[in-house]
Amino acid sequence: MDLILEKWDEILETLRKEHELSDVSFKTWLQPLKVHAVQNDTVTVLVPTEQMGLNYISKKYMLPLKVAISEVTGQDYEIELILPEQTKTKEVKSLKPQINENIEKANLNPKYTFETFVVGSNNSFANAASLAVAESPGEVYNPLFLYGGVGLGKTHLMHSIAHFILEKNPQTKVLYVTSEYFTNELIEAIRNGNNTAMAKFREKYRNIDVLLIDDVQFIIGKESTQEEFFHTFNDLHGAKKQIILSSDKPPKDMETLEARLRSRFEWGLIADIQSPDYETRMAILRKKEELDGYNIDDEVIKYIATNIKSNIRELEGALNKLIAYANLEKREINVELAEKALQDIISPDAPKEITAELIIQTVADHFNISTTDISSQKRNQEIVYPRQIAMYLCRKMTDTPLKSIGNLLGKRDHTTIIHGADKIASDILTNESTKNVIEIIKKKISPN
């Protein structure tokens, strides 16, 4: 509800612009529309006219409104129009289930749950530890420290724990953030230079039941962040609140981590995730295929699982690329097509190549949005910023021609790519958060 309400004016404005509505049409039909309720992905819109007006709006503006909502919020909703006299009967339904609001508040990806997580020998210990923590937060292993290489499922497991806890007890205050987000918020509070900003920051992070901090290795070397994090940790741990951390290495190998933090990280349980074996890679591809509603030949799945070994993000990226390629070429998916579509990813002799596709996938994952969003025509800031970062990194880290980058990013022309990349290049010089984000994503793309 909050998201739609907050963005309602922007939604109507987007619709007005995209359909070049005259002032009079806008004022007559759209401006008076009010959000009455949002429930289970249906937005109930109050039409304060009479039946004729409702019929007309339904015929003429229902679809454009749906599209505008999807563009602005990044989510698809059904729309139901109602007249003022119907509001009484609808009132009971006006609360969106609390659990969905909590998932939004906690910053969770709805797809990352235990149900969609494939358990193999590489991650069974981490999975069991995560489930134990999810069942008894703050009681058994505190903190839970998950570590493993890039793209192996740490974030997915963390979100699974949070979903599980919220499902069981929707009142629990759960917050997932990346350590980079934590750092940026802290920098912002310090920059504001007043006690209220710091107090707000502390209130936010210390007044929760379950805190999940991803990629905690990025706070190393940032003194004030380590200091603040140390106090947050102590407060929460002392109050028996659950802390879950992830990193690319175990605490003992985090050389520049302050000793007092390292010892705290080791208080609870440390669980690692290794690269998946062949069977697990097959199972992950099968799961993804099932979730996305495809039915791909076994030989093709075997081909991908045999050739992409180390990183699950790349494994999924290869499958996505193959599907996109087949759709574009209007061809059936078979091993021959897979060899062609994936030749720049699967090349037995060449060292691992950094492709524009890998960059786009990594940026999307980092911002918790889909690659479809990045390549869409959406212009809201939550999508534009990651898109520009993808433009910048594709230019910096690959030789991909501007035209191809543009095609991958929603058929944009080369001037848009140059503009987006330049914008980020100048942002890096003045904005510490952008500098941090770029540093982190670069490491995810190329860890060494």
Ligand X SMILES: Nc1ncnc2c1ncn2[C@@H]1O[C@H](COP(=O)(O)OP(=O)(O)OP(=O)(O)O)[C@@H](O)[C@H]1O
What lies within 8 Å, CB to CB, of 421 at 6+ separation is 388, 391, 392, 394, 395, 396
Tokens of 71: 């563009």
Return the number of the residue (117 or 233) whose C-beta is nearest ligand X: 117
Segment near ligand X (CB under 6 A), from 40-48, 54-62, 145-153, 227-235?
Answer: 145-153
**Residue 16 within binding range of ligand X, rule CB under 6 A:** no
Q: CB 310 → ligand X: shortest distance, Å?
A: 12
What are the φ and ψ backbone dihedral angles of 127, each rounded to 5 degrees?
Answer: -65, -45
From residue 340, give the alpha-carbon distance in Å to each of 98, 310, 394.
Answer: 47, 21, 22
**Residue 118 within binding range of ligand X, rule CB under 6 A:** yes
Q: Which of 61, 117, 201, 392 is the binder for ligand X (CB under 6 A)? A: 117
- For 404: left if phi > 0, alpha if psi spans -120 to 50, otherwise beta; the answer is alpha
Q: CB 261 → ligand X: shortest distance, Å?
A: 20
**Residue 180 within binding range of ligand X, rule CB under 6 A:** no
153 is in an annotated binding site: yes
Q: Which of 43, 81, 134, 150 is the binder for ligand X (CB under 6 A)? A: 150
Q: Give the interface size with ligand X as a residue count (CB under 6 A).
A: 22
Q: CB 319 → ligand X: shortest distance, Å?
A: 11
Segment near ligand X (CB under 6 A), from 128-136, 153-161, 221-229, 347-355?
Answer: 153-161
User: Within positions 205 to 234, which residues make up the interface with ligand X, using CB under 6 A?
Assistant: 215
Separation of alpha carbons 389 and 421, rounded Å? 7
Q: CB 152 → ligand X: shortest distance, Å?
A: 4
Q: Binding marks (x or -) toward ligand X, 239..278, rule CB under 6 A?
A: ---------x------------------------------
**Residue 123 within binding range of ligand X, rule CB under 6 A:** yes
The torsion angle over the Cα atoms of residues 249, 250, 254 and 255, rounded to 10 degrees, is -120
Separation of alpha carbons 339 and 120, rounded Å? 27
Return the number of the residue (282 or 409) whose C-beta is nearest ligand X: 282
HEC readout, 72-137: HHCCCCEEEEECHHHHHHHHHHHCCCHHHHHHHHCCCCCCCCHHHCCCCCCCHHHHHHHHHHHHCC
155 is in an annotated binding site: yes
Separation of alpha carbons 308 and 293, rounded Å? 22
**Residue 365 within binding range of ligand X, rule CB under 6 A:** yes
Return the number of the residue (156 or 237) whose C-beta is nearest ligand X: 156
3-state secondary structure of 284: helix
What lies within 8 Å, CB to CB, of 15 at 6+ separation is 21, 30, 61, 64, 65, 67, 68
Task: Give binding residues for ATP as ranges.
Answer: 151, 153-155
Task: Give binding residues as ranges.
Answer: 151, 153-155
Query: By the criterion CB under 6 A, which residues form the site for ligand X?
Result: 112, 116-118, 123, 148, 150-156, 215, 248, 284, 287, 312-313, 316, 365, 444
